[in-house]
Amino acid sequence: MAISSNLPDTSLGPPTVLRVLDFEAAVDEVLRHAAELRGSVAGATEEVPLLESAGRMLARAIVADRDQPPFDRSTRDGFAVRATAFSAGGWLSIVGQVRAGDVWSGPPLADNEAIEIMTGAPLPAGADAVTMVEHVELDGGNIRAQQGRRVSPGENVVPQGSEARAGEVVVAVGSTIGAAEIALAATAGESTLAVAGRPSVAIVATGDELVELHETPNSRQIRNSNGYALATLVHLAGALPYRLAIARDVREELLQRIAEARQHDLILFSGGVSMGKYDLVEEVLAELGAEFFFTGVKMQPGKPIVFGRLPERRKDGSLFPARYFFGLPGNPVSTQVTFHCFVEPSLRTMLGEDVSGPRFAQATLAHDVEGKQGLTRMLPARLESDFRQASVRLVGWQGSGDLAANARANCYAVFPPDRTEFRAGDVISVLLR
């Protein structure tokens, strides 16, 4: 995926202008650039077995191979009748039965006749409606309408071709494949589907304090949980994660990891983007000529997030595919919140989906919460719902490094920057995950 760039072929050094955006402006900025990537890997399509297509992006439309339904289909257990005759209230003689999978082989139905019919069975010739079994009086081999009951022509019948005509597109290119789409494909006889190729995402965890899972951390070290969390989130977003080796807080290691990461479609850095003395990610990226679209977002957690693009031309004049990158904060909750807000919409766009931003829902706040003026807060929470309403309650946490609290949550409650108090009963947004 080569993207043209007009960036100068020079080393810029550390970013000289910090660009910290409001949350909504940052989302708009990401989506504006994501539009350049729309369908950028869609050309690399592949054919996969039907059940392996779930969650993928459809690259070839699913077309009905025959009318759906292929016959006039009963939607109820009951009796096939002529509507006018049944509604007149006289007795009708039951002359047969038709089950799902059967076809009525007798003569067309007469006015004084009825045929017992099961849900899903083809409507017999001569019948134009189905009356439910609960709506008839039965006397031996005869039926009549209960007092006050009538049926109209077409009642409890799905006409042939009313769902789809043969040759009609039933699932369009670009659709995300779920159970409904797989059911339609199976109905059309599709045992395999063509799906869009998946973008590859390089994941670079940074920090001297990190060790891999097979290593034993000392008292000052932690295991690289962010690398695994990001790999999982990338996979769930429909892309292919590639965890690179940990980059220590050493310029040479960062340069090496960036060179490796540029082989992939998108680069994610975890950590190294704050203001600490050894947070070198932005500095090294700037030295490589990176363009920074923002260097922070007015949100909590996740304020230090960085979004930019590496140029396609290196200092020696050689060409290298331009690559977008996100520098995500190193604290685990910050990493995951910013992924859902910014990275996931970008990946979905790369796959060809029409994306309008992160995935939000509405819920009623279960208790009072303090806001923070000027910051959009996204705090770990539990979303609970029934058929009447959805409510959300914060999970007690110890800050953006609290992995246990994050695991107890199933969403993030969103508190806009223009209020300092939120009351129980307020309807708020929740960031889905």
**Rounded distance between C-alpha atoms, residue 10 and residue 289, angstroms:** 6
Sequence spans of domains, the chain: 20-41+198-350, 46-67+163-195, 73-158, 360-432
Does 20-41+198-350 match 360-432 in CATH topology? no
pTM of the predicted protein model: 0.85
What pLDDT does 43 receive? 59
Q: Which CATH class is domain 20-41+198-350?
A: alpha beta
Strand order through the sheet with 240-243: 240-243, 200-205, 266-270, 323-328, 306-310, 291-294
User: Would you say 234 and 350 are in contact if contact means Cβ atoms under 8 Å apart?
Assistant: no
- At 239-257, the pLDDT tens digits run 999 999 999 889 999 999 9
pLDDT at 40: 66
Instruction: Give the H/E segment covering residue 400.
Output: none
DSSP-assigned beta bridge partners for residue 363: 428
Q: What are phi and psi of 87, to 5 degrees?
A: -70, -20
pLDDT by residue (tens digit) across 342-360?
999 999 888 888 888 999 9
- How far is Cα 285 from Cα 268, in angstroms, rounded to an integer? 12
pLDDT of residue 39: 66
* 141 three-state secondary structure: coil
Mean pLDDT of the chain: 91
Q: Which CATH entry fits the domain spanning 360-432: 3.40.50.300, 2.40.340.10, 1.10.274.10, 2.40.30.20? A: 2.40.340.10
| Rounded Cα gap, residues 90 and 137, in angstroms | 11
Q: Per-residue pLDDT for 5 more than 90?
A: no
pLDDT in tens, 55-91: 898 999 999 999 999 999 999 999 999 999 999 999 9
Q: What is the pLDDT confidence band of residue 1, given thresholds at 50, 70 and 90?
A: very low
The pLDDT score that the predictor gives to residue 355 is 86
Other beta carbons less than 10 A from residue 126's beta carbon: 17
Beta strands in 64-110 (DSSP E): 73-74, 78-81, 92-98
CATH class, 73-158 region: mainly beta
Cα dihedral across residues 109, 112, 118, 119: positive or negative? positive
- Collapsing DSSP to helix, strand or coil, 407 comes out as helix
Q: What is the pLDDT of residues 82-129, one digit of tens each?
A: 999 999 999 999 999 999 999 999 999 999 999 999 999 999 999 999
Query: To the nearest whole percent, how much of the chain has pLDDT over 90?
Result: 79
User: Is pLDDT of 368 > 90?
Assistant: yes
Q: What CATH number has the domain spanning 46-67+163-195?
A: 3.90.105.10
Q: pLDDT per residue over 170-186, tens digit each?
A: 999 989 999 999 999 99
User: Tens digit of pLDDT for each residue in 256-288?
Assistant: 999 999 999 999 999 877 665 557 899 999 999
Closest Cα partner for 63 from 180, 172, 183? 172
Give dist(CA 227, CA 354) in Å, integer.
28
Are the C-beta atoms of residues 379 and 413 closer than 8 Å to each other? yes
